[in-house]
């Protein structure tokens, strides 16, 4: 997957969004084609500092792709730049016209470590969060090709534990390329709920141990966000607020 980044040494307040599109039946070929065509249109969008156009796994985290579900992760210079894109850009309008469901969130990173194609796009200052915010977690990795079989054997139990964890509102597998460039995104009722899973789930602890012991990743990024706002639904479940 292609990456757009305009580098800056200033940790200025930026504006991060994630949108998940679930296309109506009959638009799967169009959606798949946008994985190649979409980045060309996004590179020239004013105010767009970083983006990734992502696919999704069947059943949420499956090995095979869900050809109806895609996501756009974007870091903007301002909320106004994001709003102008939504109001005027033909690619956004094309996704909206073909989507059975859309869910969008505004995210403020409060912890981000690692690299995504050599950079950390979430390394910027944020304003104080609202009281008792929901939180989101993004993990992204480039999987070592020789380790991919070991990695995917472990995905099913780990993903099942995440999807059914207490306090999780949304959990979905995303990716730039099948098999080897994968991400997980989840939304939690609170930081406490997320921490209970992170520190007490045996599946999650085992995944962390095996990641290091078996050297699964050639590059990885881990980020936590406050969910400042969200609207829409995924799989018929409204996730607004």
Which range has the worst mean pLDDT, 5-14, 46-55, 161-170? 5-14
In a domain, 240, yes or no: no
What's the number of domains the chain is made of? 1
Over residues 187-197, mean pLDDT: 92
What percentage of the chain reaches a pLDDT higher than 90?
57
pLDDT at 147 over 70: no
Domain hosting residue 17, numbered range: 4-235
Q: Which CATH number do you get for residue 185?
A: 3.30.70.100
Interval 30-67: pLDDT, tens: 999 999 999 999 999 999 999 999 999 876 566 678 89
With respect to residue 179, please indicate whether it lies within any of the assigned structural domains: yes
Asked if residue 241 is part of any domain, the answer here is no
Question: What length does the chain have?
Answer: 241
Q: Which of residues 11 and 111 earns the better pLDDT score?
A: 111
Q: Report the DSSP beta bridge partners of residue 175.
A: 55, 182
pLDDT of amino acid 127:
85
Which tokens in the block code for residue 163? 């999807």
**Is 229 within the bounds of a domain?**
yes
Least confident interval from 60-69, 123-132, 216-225 = 60-69
Question: φ and ψ at 223, to 5 degrees?
Answer: -140, 140
């Amino acid at each position: 997957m292609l990456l757009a980044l305009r580098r800056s040494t200033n940790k200025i307040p930026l504006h991060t969004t994630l949108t998940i599109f679930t296309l109506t039946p009959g638009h799967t070929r169009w959606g798949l084609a946008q994985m190649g065509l979409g980045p060309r249109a996004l590179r020239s969008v004013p105010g767009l500092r970083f983006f990734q156009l992502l696919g999704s796994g069947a059943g949420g985290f499956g090995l095979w792709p869900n050809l109806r579900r895609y996501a756009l992760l974007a870091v903007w210079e301002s909320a106004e730049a994001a709003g102008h894109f939504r109001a005027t850009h033909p690619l956004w309008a094309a996704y909206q016209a073909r989507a059975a469901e859309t869910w969008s969130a505004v995210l403020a990173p409060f912890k981000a470590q690692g690299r995504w194609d050599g950079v950390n796009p979430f390394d910027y200052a944020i304003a104080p969060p609202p009281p008792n915010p929901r939180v989101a977690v993004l993990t992204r990795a480039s999987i070592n090709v020789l380790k991919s079989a070991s990695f995917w054997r472990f995905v099913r139990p780990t993903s099942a534990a995440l999807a059914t964890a207490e306090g999780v509102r949304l959990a979905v597998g995303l990716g730039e390329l099948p098999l080897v460039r994968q991400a997980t995104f989840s939304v939690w009722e609170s930081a406490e709920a997320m921490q209970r899973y992170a520190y007490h789930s045996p599946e999650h602890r085992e995944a962390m141990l095996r990641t290091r012991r078996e050297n699964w990743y050639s590059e990885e990024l881990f980020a936590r966000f406050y969910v400042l706002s969200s609207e829409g639904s995924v799989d018929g479940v409204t996730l607004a607020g």
